[in-house]
Structure 1
């Protein structure tokens, strides 16, 4: 069989976005930030609908779509969620010991400030979905994370900031939101308008951590010998 006969019917070039479209995709990825500082302006309803649709278009193992979005519109409920996060923030600071004071200076959420607040949760009875999860049951969480990332990138493209808050007791938050047994909240998302996007990840700007280069995370044909 000749090389011409082996040539695929459609090449990557045929399916490639235009240069301008491609630049937009990579820009959204590069400039996505975990935001903590928000303006109080509300998020347009049509924009929010587009963002949630983008999240809902995420890939999921076995097409189980294990994401649930709870929109928080009551101010007093926001305040109670903020209290749960504040409790966990203080407990985390205690565990960090010598970095306690440094951690307490960080702004870790914008729950009371953002225009829109969402809680992302895994549903109950998801154990029924076996396709792709028999040996890796955590793929429900991985699939929901894909939905969050879709929302995050779409928000950046729309000029909105998003911050993922994970400082909370999931059982306490589930009880507060009257979630059914077996379900589990995995993220509090602060979404809204911002004065500006951070030039670098906030934790890098605050000297909390230093990002490592890609080369440190790419292996070939197995795990490297690190002895």
Structure 2
């Protein structure tokens, strides 16, 4: 490789730092996202890998305040439904901060485009590979936002058909994520669900296997 292709120690360290410092943010501070910065973030998302180079992601920037309010209402309806489905933990769940739809500087929706018939790499897993490709774009956006010192939160609390109708998505398209983006006062030192005692992350050693899935203890 040429020197231009190689990552130096400082560049390599910055990549790993962004990965480990990334957080799913729910608390946002006042302020805006500069248009040039937003353009860089969207380019980062668009640089993601996709199976068969199908690029199935579509990113909708929500600028209409009434539409944002309607999306927030959808999220709240699903938050209440989720709490009810959780039974004994429902009350505890309702005390968690799970989204920042109304407060964030920028609201984006990542949608899966109608299937374009790509067969390369997805004959046996057509839907899964399309969704995985969109997830790669979201992760690129997330890491780039962290490098720009902006917070991003992935909200999955919504009824897909209702959000698709609000956004006038075509047949075959579906929303996969509401993305809250903007300045934050500080980044969580650890994942918020750990800080609130909701759940603890498992160590890597428990999740990496050799050759075959281990037998249950």
The TM-score with structure 1 as length reference comes to 0.92
**Which residue is equivalent to 2:209?**
219
User: Partners of 1:134 and 1:219 in 2: how far apart?
Assistant: 27
The Cα of 1:54 is off from its aligned counterpart by 0.3
**Which residue is equivalent to 2:125?**
136
**Which residue is equivalent to 1:177?**
167
Q: Does 1:32 align with 2:7?
A: no
The Cα of 1:65 is off from its aligned counterpart by 0.2
User: Partners of 1:40 and 1:132 in 2: how far apart?
Assistant: 43
Q: Deviations over 1:57-112 (max 9, x none)?
A: 00000000000000000111110000000000000001110101100000110000
Structure 2 counterparts to residues 87-166 of structure 1, below 5 A: 87-124=77-114, 126-137=115-126, 138-166=128-156
The Cα of 1:14 is off from its aligned counterpart by 9.2
Q: 2:183 aligns with which of 189, 193, 205?
A: 193
**Which residue is equivalent to 1:5?**
none
The Cα of 1:17 is off from its aligned counterpart by 1.1
User: Partners of 2:25 and 2:101 in 1: how far apart?
Assistant: 11
Q: Does 1:19 align with 2:1?
A: no
The TM-score with structure 2 as length reference comes to 0.97
Structure 2 counterparts to residues 67-82 of structure 1, below 5 A: 67-82=57-72
Q: Does 1:60 align with 2:56?
A: no
User: Partners of 1:215 and 1:72 in 2: how far apart?
Assistant: 41
The Cα of 1:16 is off from its aligned counterpart by 3.9
SS of the equivalent of 1:33 reads: coil
User: Partners of 2:24 and 2:6 in 1: how far apart?
Assistant: 29
Q: Deviations over 1:108-147 (max 9, x none)?
A: 10000000000000111x1511111110111000000000
How many pairs does the alignment contain?
A: 216
**Structure 2 unaligned residues grouped into runs of 5+:** none
User: Partners of 2:72 and 2:145 in 1: how far apart?
Assistant: 22
**Which residue is equivalent to 1:7?**
none
